[in-house]
């Protein structure tokens, strides 16, 4: 078969064009692949940065927690070794007036006091009680009972005439006859470093105050 040089040139030129298109297509494909890989790499890099920032935040939070834990441990050690001399003494200061007096050298903070006399209860909250300070609680029913007991005591003494046959005092003439009450004291407070403290005491065979 005889091919003219012109036809051969056309065939060669056409083949070169096709080859160029193929090469161009392959190049574009590789470029798109490279762009896709680059975008994936950028996303991975961004994710890595976010993870790194989150890790830094977690580490910072852990450091803050460690500092707080050390502070609390130190504070707890101080509370356990804190010197604290606080005592409470309860007594009647007058009819129906029960006083809890603070003894000792240190201050009592956030004080909650509760006293029960027989079946009557009174309570009081005080922010701060210094050495020698006191908390007064009022008992109206105890005041009425004491008034009745005083009257019975006076009547018992007035109506009694000692004799050889009956040398002993009758019941109402004996002050111990009226010492039949129960008084319960409960005080809760904190030290200056925040350590909780408690006082609890029960008085049996107690009186409601002086009969005279």
Q: What is the pLDDT of residue 160?
A: 55
Count the alpha carbons within 13 Å of 180 in the hemisphere toward its beta carbon: 9
pLDDT at residue 175, rounded to an integer: 77
Q: State residue 65's pLDDT score.
A: 76
The reported pLDDT for the residue numbered 164 is: 47
SS3 helix, strand, coil % of the chain, rounded to 5? 50, 30, 25
The strand ranges marked E within the chain are 87-94, 97-103, 108-117, 120-129, 134-138, 181-190, 196-206
Alpha-carbon span 192 to 70, nearest angstrom: 20
Question: Could you tell me the end-to-end alpha-carbon distance of the chain, in angstroms, rounded to an integer?
Answer: 154
- Residue 53 has a pLDDT of 84
Look at residue 155 in the predicted model and tell me its pLDDT. 83
Mean pLDDT in consecutive groups of 10 residues from the start of the chain, 212 residues: 51 57 66 73 74 80 71 53 89 98 96 98 98 97 96 78 51 76 98 96 96 87
Predicted TM-score (pTM) of this structure: 0.60
């Amino acid at each position: 078969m005889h091919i003219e040089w012109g036809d051969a040139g056309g065939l060669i030129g056409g083949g070169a064009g096709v080859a160029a298109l193929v090469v161009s297509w392959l190049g574009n494909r590789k470029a798109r692949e490279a762009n896709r890989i680059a975008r994936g790499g950028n996303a991975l890099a961004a994710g890595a940065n976010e993870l790194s920032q989150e890790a830094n935040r977690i580490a910072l939070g852990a450091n803050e927690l460690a500092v707080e834990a050390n502070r609390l441990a130190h504070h707890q050690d101080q509370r356990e070794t804190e010197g604290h001399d606080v005592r409470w003494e309860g007594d009647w200061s007058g009819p129906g007036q029960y006083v809890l007096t603070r003894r000792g050298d240190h201050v009592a903070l956030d004080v909650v006091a509760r006293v029960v006399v027989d079946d009557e209860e009174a309570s009081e909250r005080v922010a701060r009680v210094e050495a020698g300070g006191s908390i007064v609680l009022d008992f109206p029913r105890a005041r009425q009972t004491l008034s009745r007991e005083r009257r019975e005591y006076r009547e018992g003494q007035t109506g009694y005439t000692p004799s050889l046959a009956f040398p002993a005092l009758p019941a109402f003439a004996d002050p111990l006859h009226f010492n039949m009450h129960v008084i319960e004291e409960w005080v809760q407070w904190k030290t200056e470093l925040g350590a909780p403290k408690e006082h609890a005491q029960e008085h049996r065979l107690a009186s409601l105050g002086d009969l005279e």
